[in-house]
Amino acid sequence: MRRALMRRRSSGFFGRGAAVAVLAAGTLLASAACGGDGFDDGGTAAQQTTGPASLQILIGSSGDAETTAVKDAAQAWATKSGNTATVTPAQDLTQQLGQSLAGDNPPDVFYVDAGRFADYASVGALEPYGDKVDNPGDFYQSLKDTFTFDGKFYCAPKDFSTLALEINTDLWTKAGLTDADIPTTWDQLTSAAQKLKAKGTMPLAIADTRDRVGAFLVQSGGWIVSKDGKQATADSAENVTALTYVQSLLKGGLASYPKALDAGWGGEAFGKGKAAMTIEGNWIKGAMTNDFPSIKYSVHELPAGPKGKGTLSFTNCWGIAAKSKFKEQAIDFVKAMTTVDQQMSFAKAFGVMPSRQSARDQYTSAFPADKAFIDGAEYAQGPVNAPKMDSVLADFDASLNGLAKGDPKALLGTLQKNTQANLGG
């Protein structure tokens, strides 16, 4: 009886309550609808062409030097053009950009990492303005290719870095090696490494990621995807050759991953003198001067493989949001940022290489030690230029971790399968 009463009462309570609950839910929906200007169908953003624009610029800064340099340059442009420009250094560029794009309120101008470029371009987040900057043909072709998607040159490369071979001079001479022994082919690399190993030095520190090991793929004439980025070519014979070679270095104790040398990256292992050689980009200069000033080293082009020279390039571009209200002004801003003079002053401020070929001579005369890096631009391969590839490549990195014990063919087979699934779908 008691039970029955309780049940009855509760059903009465909820019977009436239901009406109130529906009412409340209705209020919620209404309030959500009011709050969300995101319910409209957008289309192209209305452009403001007259009057001063206020540009929002989001950068993924490498440090204070870069932040200050970009802020100063933006300020100079703003004063000259009568607009305002606010430069914000991002804590986590990918995430912040993702959020603001989803919120329909992206910054007008932002850094786009080459590895992420296709993700943004494929969903229409970027304005394809590449050909509207002054003299677009002056950018290195490999960089232009990196920022071309579906045949459209999207955005102007900001600057770039390439990989080269750094050699610790002291350890090199201690092993009885001379300048004549500096390797220019894989075979020479192996023999020089063997001599270093005989003296008890770890010859080469190379990071276990496609961003380093990938250079061997290029030297061998292979790459993860075809030139147009539409086909997966990961399991090609060239790639197998390259990975088998890297594996032989690892197995023979001629090369080691930095973590095994108690270092976070190749430059740290190299700077601590734990390896006589490393393969890193021009960012290693800053680390060497700041953290390991006593180490003497020289920089050389990477040894050539069976199909000639090969290196990897890393770059950012000045992306302009397709939803920006100030596209005209944003393009004008990018023009100012990519002049030869401006690129040279960025290079001096935070050690990047200008993306314009016409700045090359100025750069090499200002930084003669960087010749090997800038020479790499001729034959450099950019990151994989296809959307949704990051998790696939992260998986490849994870498998490179076990390359010494693994089977290069199986490893590339998995990469091929995953890449194909991604490009197909």
Question: What is the C-alpha separation between 321 and 390, in angstroms, rounded?
Answer: 21
User: Which element (helix H / strand E) includes 278?
Assistant: strand 275-281
- The contact pattern for other proteins, residues 364-393, with x = CB under 8 A and - = no contact, is ------------------------x-xxx-
Q: Is 237 in the site for other proteins (CB under 8 A)?
A: no
**Cβ distance to other proteins smaller for residue 132 or 259:** 259
Question: What is the C-alpha separation between 44 and 106, in angstroms, rounded?
Answer: 13
Binding residue (CB under 8 A) for other proteins from 53, 59, 74, 125: 125
Q: Are 119 and 277 in contact (CB under 8 A)?
A: no
Q: Is 13 in the site for other proteins (CB under 8 A)?
A: yes
- Classify burial at 292, counting beta carbons within 10 Å of its beta carbon; exposed 0-12, middle 13-18, buried 19 or more: middle
- Residue 316's identity, in one-letter code, is N
Question: What is the C-alpha separation between 358 and 343, in angstroms, rounded?
Answer: 11
Question: What is the C-alpha separation between 255 and 248, in angstroms, rounded?
Answer: 9
Going by the DSSP 8-state scheme, the letter that residue 49 receives in this structure is -
**Cβ distance to other proteins smaller for residue 95 or 185:** 95
Q: Is 8 in the site for other proteins (CB under 8 A)?
A: yes
Q: Are 223 and 213 in contact (CB under 8 A)?
A: no
- The contact pattern for other proteins, residues 173-212, with x = CB under 8 A and - = no contact, is ----------------------------------------
Q: Is 308 in the site for other proteins (CB under 8 A)?
A: no
| Residue 254: partners with Cβ closer than 8 Å, 6 or more residues away | 190, 193, 194, 197, 203, 204, 248
Question: What is the C-alpha separation between 255 and 207, in angstroms, rounded?
Answer: 10
Which of 176, 135, 175 lies closest to 157, judged by CA?
Answer: 135
- Residue 135's identity, in one-letter code, is N
| Number of residues in contact with other proteins under rule CB under 8 A | 53
Backbone φ, ψ for residue 251 (5° rounding)? -65, -40
Which of 262, 263, 302 lies closest to 280, judged by CA?
Answer: 302
Least separation in angstroms between CB 94 and other proteins: 6
Name residues contacting other proteins, limited to 310-369 (CB under 8 A).
Answer: 323
Q: Is 141 in the site for other proteins (CB under 8 A)?
A: no
Q: Is 410 in the site for other proteins (CB under 8 A)?
A: no
Q: Is 42 in the site for other proteins (CB under 8 A)?
A: yes
**Cβ distance to other proteins smaller for residue 227 or 388:** 388
**Cβ distance to other proteins smaller for residue 45 or 304:** 45
Name residues contacting other proteins, limited to 245-274 (CB under 8 A).
Answer: 259-260, 262
Q: Is 76 in the site for other proteins (CB under 8 A)?
A: no
Q: Is 41 in the site for other proteins (CB under 8 A)?
A: yes
- Near other proteins by CB under 8 A, which window of 56-64, 92-100, 231-239, 276-284? 92-100
- Applying CB under 8 A, the residues found at the interface with other proteins are 2, 5-6, 8-9, 12-13, 16-17, 20-21, 24-25, 27-29, 31-32, 36, 38-42, 94-95, 98-99, 101-102, 104, 119-120, 122-125, 259-260, 262, 323, 388, 390-392, 395, 398-399, 401-402, 418, 421-422
